[in-house]
Amino acid sequence: MIKKIGLSLLSAAVLVGCVATTSDESTAKNSAQDISASYDSINTAQLIEHVKVLSSDEFGGRAPSSEGEKLTLAYLTEQFTAIGFKPGNGDSFLQEVPLVSIEASSDMTLAIGGKNYQHGTDMVMGSARISELEQLKNSELVFVGYGVNAPEYNWNDYKDLDVKGKTVVILVNDPGFATQDPELFTGNAMTYYGRWTYKYEEASRQGAEGAIIIHETAPASYGWSVVKNSWTGPQFSFQREDLNKDRVAVEGWINSDVATELFAKAGLDFTKMKERAAQGSFNIDMGDLDASITVKNTIKNSISYNFIATLPGQTKADEHILYSAHWDHLGTDLSKEGDQIYNGAHDNATGTAALIEVAEAFAKLPQPLERSVTFLAVTAEEQGLLGSKFYAANPVIPAAKTVANINMDALNVNGKSKDVAVYGLGQSELDSFLTKAAAKQDRVISGDPRPAAGIYYRSDHFAFANIGIPALYAKGGSTPADQATADLRAKLNPILAKCYHGLCDEYRDDWDLTGAVQDMQLFFEIGFELSKEGVWPQWSKTSEFKR
């Protein structure tokens, strides 16, 4: 474990509050100099040291319910205790999250149309059911376009279709991306209907026996290697009495080459079928093709933990600003030769380290804030936001007492930006807090740089938004601060893309974390403004999350 290292206080402009408060004037206040000193205390040196520890080989890739989890939780407990934070869950820093690990044997083939497709190269299959054996036996294939049932868009790919006992084949993303029509769904910006999680959920609600998503890099926003690395090995789910029997028996992915071949065998043209699927509700039988596969699972029940720490407020201690980041990653794959550890330095040792740094900035303020500030490091994000979903279903702090959520996931490691990218721009009044804080850094708000990726639905803030808590997810944007930063990004960005969910996601000495520090300072200032009594940011009138 590392020791806390010394902080140097840099000069900064006085931070001016975004919103007036109604707090008692007799309450002890922090001076402008105090606030500036805390703001400036956030620095690259400490951030780097935390990232190095959390992403070290010793932590083994931080898989839930592993030795790496124990080390991670111990490290967080040590760091937050050292800066004076209190346990956030009664007398404990931990919230128990009951999980079950489901690991499918790689010894499987998918038989369709007289050909066996191989696990890992052609397809990745598994089962979300808590069962040692699940299978498809000659399950008829039906193409259901984007697999969407969305009455508000007058769209139902399951219209007049009974899929019981059948396996549905589904396109990734949603029709807006395919057509680039801004009037269709939300145009290029992915909705939740485009997420793989939704596809499996809807297929299950429709009563299908199996669900297969067709992977294509552009609409998925990641390559086949991410599918292979993320959906093989132990897959975590919640422990449930119904053993997830409401899910399809088998779910997974095929690559686009396999899809093209299967559609041809069915007498269909894959390209033309995609074009038709984007025009409106659509489904079609895939000739006489059927699927057979046997999935053998190893089942292990386990307990993982969310970590929660609080700096109590002095006048409204029951009202909280909630910062979040996921501490977990993909762990260790002993089946690989050579490097076996998914260190997860960028995703998400950076965000976990940022929790510590921003928390310390608050702890340095000489006077307690009016409201409490709480830091939540959640488990099993990589398995479908399980830790944050569990917290949202079992909140330690009631949603009505949670002022806002600020989420940090995969921070900027390639230098300063002139802009701030906001995922879900326009969702809530938190945007105005961010805009004012960014202006003090001479930065502007640029919006989502990758709307087609649906990132607002892919990190832990989504779980909090779903229970009505205004949630902000932002990071350094795509406009570099200067030419040197542009040159660095030209070198680093391809590496970062390649290493996403890969073995090479390790800390690099050529990372430039000054941009991450800028972003963390924004998040600190926003939290400070939100900590004032009477400030309650609202969802926009058009947001699907408004409370």
Among 57, 56, 63, 75, CA closest to 1:
75
Q: Is 369 helix (H, G, I), strand (E, B) or coil?
A: coil
- Looking at the DSSP bridge assignments, the partners of residue 115 are 112
**What is the spatial distance between Cα 430 and Cα 19, in angstroms, rounded to a whole number?**
11
Reported as type and span, the H/E element at residue 295 is strand 284-311
**What is the spatial distance between Cα 452 and Cα 191, in angstroms, rounded to a whole number?**
9
Strands 419-423 and 444-445, bridge-based pairing: parallel
What does CATH list as the number for 32-92+312-531?
A: 3.40.630.10
Q: Is residue 312 a contact partner of residue 362, using CB atoms and an 8 Å limit? A: no
Q: How far lies 135's CA from each of 100, 116, 237, 286, in Å?
A: 20, 15, 19, 20
Q: Where are the beta strands (DSSP E) in 216-279?
A: 235-238, 250-255
Q: Is 388 helix (H, G, I), strand (E, B) or coil?
A: helix
Reported as type and span, the H/E element at residue 100 is strand 94-104
pLDDT in tens, the chain (547 residues): 333 333 332 233 333 333 434 444 456 799 999 999 999 999 999 999 999 999 999 999 999 999 999 999 999 999 999 999 999 999 999 999 999 999 999 999 999 999 999 999 999 999 999 999 999 999 999 999 999 999 999 999 999 999 999 999 999 999 999 999 999 998 888 888 999 999 999 999 999 999 999 999 999 989 999 999 888 888 888 888 899 999 999 999 999 999 999 999 999 999 999 999 999 999 999 999 999 999 999 999 999 999 999 999 999 999 999 999 999 999 999 888 999 999 999 999 999 999 999 999 999 999 999 999 999 999 999 988 999 999 999 999 999 999 999 999 999 999 999 999 999 899 999 999 999 999 999 999 998 888 878 888 888 999 999 999 999 999 999 999 999 999 999 999 999 999 999 999 999 999 999 999 999 999 999 999 999 999 999 999 878 787 6
**What is the spatial distance between Cα 20 and Cα 25, in angstroms, rounded to a whole number?**
12
Strands 316-326 and 371-378, bridge-based pairing: parallel
What does CATH list as the number for 101-299?
A: 3.50.30.30
Q: Where are the beta strands (DSSP E) in 327-382?
A: 331-332, 341-342, 371-378
Backbone torsions φ then ψ of 481, nearest 5 degrees? -70, -30
The amino acid at residue 143 is F
Reported as type and span, the H/E element at residue 137 is strand 133-143
Q: How far lies 442's CA from each of 372, 413, 417, 528, in Å?
A: 29, 20, 10, 19
Q: Where are the beta strands (DSSP E) in 352-501?
A: 371-378, 402-407, 419-423, 444-445, 471-476
Q: Is residue 290 a contact partner of residue 131, using CB atoms and an 8 Å limit? A: no
Among 451, 302, 489, 437, CA closest to 379:
302
pLDDT of 213? 98
Whether the full predicted model's pTM is greater than 0.85, yes or no, is no
Among 358, 310, 375, 311, CA closest to 524:
358
For the chain, which residues make up each domain, given as ranges?
32-92+312-531, 101-299
Reported as type and span, the H/E element at residue 361 is helix 350-363
**What is the spatial distance between Cα 141 and Cα 211, in angstroms, rounded to a whole number?**
9
Task: State both tokens at 312.
Answer: 């109590």
Strands 250-255 and 341-342, bridge-based pairing: unpaired
Cis amide linkage into residue 407, ω under 30° from 0: no
407-417 per-position pLDDT tens digit: 999 999 999 99
45-58 per-position pLDDT tens digit: 999 999 999 999 99
**Cβ-based neighbour number of residue 77 at 10 Å:** 17
Q: How far lies 117's CA from each of 108, 213, 229, 465, in Å?
A: 9, 15, 18, 40
The residue written with tokens 């979040």 in the block is 324
Class of residue 383 by CB neighbours under 10 A (exposed 0-12, middle 13-18, buried 19+): buried
